[in-house]
Amino acid sequence: MPLPTSRRLALLTSASLALLAGCGSSSDSAAAKSTPARVAVVASTDVYGDIVRRVGGDRVDVASVVSDPDQDPHSYEADPQNQLALSKAEIVVENGGGYDDFVDRMLKGGHNDSAQVINAVKVSGKTAPKGGELNEHVWYDFPTVAKVVDRIAAALTKADPSDAAAFGKNAAAFKAKLAPLEAKEARIKKEHGGAGVAITEPVPLYMTEASGLINRTPAEFSEAIEEGDDVSPRILQENLALFSGRKVQALVYNEQTSGPQTEKTEAAAKAAGIPVVPVTETLPKGKDYLGWMTANVDALAGALAK
């Protein structure tokens, strides 16, 4: 018996849709195969996360564990989401030097032994001075950042050899933009070398030292502030005397860790008419690494020129 016209049309339509669906599925599959998966990278802070993005471009997926400018990385408590990301990461970029130990703990807990781990302090080659403590804030040291950039490019190349040329090109471009920052530090050193400065924490010391400046803050003060400990009245008064006695030309102030002692220090600097240069440990909102560091070096130069 011949099928009614409406039934024949329905069958033809179904067949056509099935054929189109099959073609689309094949096309989608081919497209998926032609686009390689991005390299999964976890960075301990958004400082390193931004650097990875500059080197990896659109071939990386980057998760930064600490990305809030109001969060003190020293006291950060990682969460299960961080644990999951680290357990799947192909590359991990950490600062090291005791700064972000939670990364190593979570990598171990997530049983991720295959990830390539880049430790910035180890890459830097820096060690603690005799009788002193290591300054772990190595992202303020531009030669170290250049070395880290090279390590990131090498790790990405190992994970994704087909994009090696792009990684190498991006790394070279990034390092070329570090050169003007080092030139600015050299200019400060030429114009203000030997000038005294005060700090609240060791955060900016690599930058101030490269600029030829002398840190006159009592070590007991900055170390106590970094560790979250109270400063003795004697050391606090010794620190405040730097400003009343005009023994320094600028105060470089870590905005991310403030308290009664640092607030008194800032107030003493302002009362004495000594410029305050604010710095942070992680990226301010809306900034990338290069723009952030350019602003820091320019602010330091501007303060010294007053």
Q: What CATH number should be reported for the domain holding residue 221?
A: 3.40.50.1980
- Cα separation of 145 and 177, whole Å? 11
**Quick one: pLDDT at residue 18?**
39
**Quick one: pLDDT at residue 35?**
58
Which two structure tokens, joined as six digits, stand for 34? 């032609």
**Quick one: pLDDT at residue 20?**
39
Q: What is the CA radius of gyration of the chain?
A: 26
* 152, 178, 204 - which closes a domain: 178
249, part of any domain? yes
Phi, psi at residue 229, to the nearest 5°? Answer: -95, 165
pLDDT averaged over the chain?
A: 89
Is residue 127 domain-shared with residue 228, that is, in the same domain?
no
Contact of 51 with 148, CB cutoff 8 Å: yes
Query: Residue 293 sits in which domain range?
Result: 180-304
Q: Indicate if the alpha-carbon torsion angle 30, 35, 36, 39 is positive or negative.
A: negative
pTM (predicted TM-score): 0.87
Partnered with residue 61 across adjacent β-strands are 40
Strands 214-215 and 276-279: unpaired
Percent of the chain with pLDDT over 70: 88
Is residue 274 domain-shared with residue 214, that is, in the same domain?
yes
- DSSP SS3 for 251: strand
Is residue 201 domain-shared with residue 264, that is, in the same domain?
yes
- Cα separation of 157 and 184, whole Å? 32
- DSSP SS3 for 55: helix
Is residue 67 domain-shared with residue 192, that is, in the same domain?
no
**Quick one: pLDDT at residue 131?**
84
* 121, 155, 178 - which closes a domain: 178
* 178, 210, 234 - which closes a domain: 178
- Cα separation of 82 and 77, whole Å? 10
Where the chain has pLDDT below 50, the residues are: 1-33
17, part of any domain? no
